Amino acid sequence: MLFLGGCNFRCPFCQNADLVLRPESLPGLHIDEVMRSLEKKKGFVDGVSITGGEPLIHGEALLSLMRRLREAGLAVKLDTNGYEVELLREVLAAGLADYVAMDVKTSLAGYSRAAGKALDTRRIEQAIRLIMDSGVQYEFRTTCVPGIVEESDIHEIAALVSGAKHYYLQQFRPNGPMIDAEYEAVRPHDAATLGRFLSLVSPSVQTCGLRGA
């Protein structure tokens, strides 16, 4: 798994605060070192997940990394929040990802709160449609943070991802340090609530499930 530092969101419940806010404080590897290390593991590693932070903020550097992974014969999974929709379009059009996992944070009305900043939510809708129409394998997933993901949000999320092949609800784990330490004291939704959320969204998607519950 390759963790790319920095992010265009500031989700208050983010558990990668150092990676998002202070990526320069963490040890890093040059892309050439990454490729050399993968070359040594040839035959044992057949794919790489690129995650963050938010990989798509890295523009041409990300495209270059993905091309090199492709040239090395490796499968590539991309984790994203979808906001850099034009770069996502390039990645998909160039066939640089085998699998895309996009976080759908909450309903569009609540998105700015979830992301910790003002957003143009049309870009979220565009990213969802783009992924669904791409022909690439994909999933959407929502971490059920109390106060950010409630039943009314689930109804709207179900409409947003309607027709999607795979959708997952993920239990919120208040393991710090988070970007906003207040979220470390938030108690997760109970199992019955998550089960209700799942039953609300399941008619709208082809397959769905609960993770971490």
Stretch that binds ligand SF4, among 9-17, 40-48, 118-126, 163-171 (CB under 6 A): 9-17
Work out how close the CB of 92 gets to ligand SF4 at its nearest, in angstroms, rounded to a whole number. 19
Work out how close the CB of 206 gets to ligand SF4 at its nearest, in angstroms, rounded to a whole number. 25
> Using the rule CB under 6 A, is 82 a contact of ligand SF4?
no
Q: Which of 4, 9, 69, 197 binds ligand SF4 (CB under 6 A)?
A: 9
Q: Which of 154, 172, 173, 161 shows the shortest CA–CA distance to 207?
A: 161
> Using the rule CB under 6 A, is 124 a contact of ligand SF4?
no
> Using the rule CB under 6 A, is 170 a contact of ligand SF4?
no
Q: Which spans of this chain sit near ligand SF4 (rule: CB under 6 A)?
A: 7, 9-11, 14, 16, 20, 52-54, 81
